[in-house]
Structure 1
Amino acid sequence: MKARVIVTLKSAVLDPQGKAIEGALRSLGINGVDSVRQGKVFDVDLGGADRAAAEAALKEACERLLANTVIETYRIEFAE
């Protein structure tokens, strides 16, 4: 089973790296970008076919290691 974990900063948290990317895009002449927020993506291969168990394991991984839940949110997506 394959899953993707997407971790992003909470909307209330300033994102200086996103602002730097936004400025770089403008300096490259790429127009129409109003704002940029950066994040992290983890592609995870999981053994077994129990989706509920896999989701529980990934939530624990996010809470304990992959995301700083004070300033970040996470989303888990499973490949179909």
Structure 2
Amino acid sequence: MKAIVHVTLKNGVLDPQGEAVKSALGGMGFDGVNGVRQGKVIELDLAEGTSEATVTEMCEKLLANTVIESYRIELT
């Protein structure tokens, strides 16, 4: 079983990496980009029977800084 965790900064939290990407894209001639929010994707290869609750606990304890980040879990 695989879990894919998408971690992004919460709305209202400054994203300096996203701003750097936006600026670089503008410098390369991509003028239609109004904003960029950067995040991370974590793929977990899990033993069969691992619950979504366990993956949530992993996110809460290590994979996401829940003060400033949100996460979304996909089980496949």
TM over 0.5: yes
Counting only pairs closer than 5 Å after superposition, residues 1-80 of structure 1 correspond to structure 2 as 1-48=1-48, 50=49, 53-79=50-76
Ranges of 4+ aligned residues in structure 1 off by more than 3 Å: none
Q: How many residues align?
A: 76
Question: How many Å apart are 1:37 and its aligned residue?
Answer: 0.3
Question: How many Å apart are 1:30 and its aligned residue?
Answer: 1.5
TM-score if structure 1 supplies the norm length? Answer: 0.88
- Output the aligned Cα RMSD: 1.0
Q: Which runs of 5+ in 2 are unaligned?
A: none
Name the amino acid aligned to 1:58: V
TM-score if structure 2 supplies the norm length? Answer: 0.92
Distance in structure 2 (CA, Å) of the matches to 1:77 and 1:28: 34
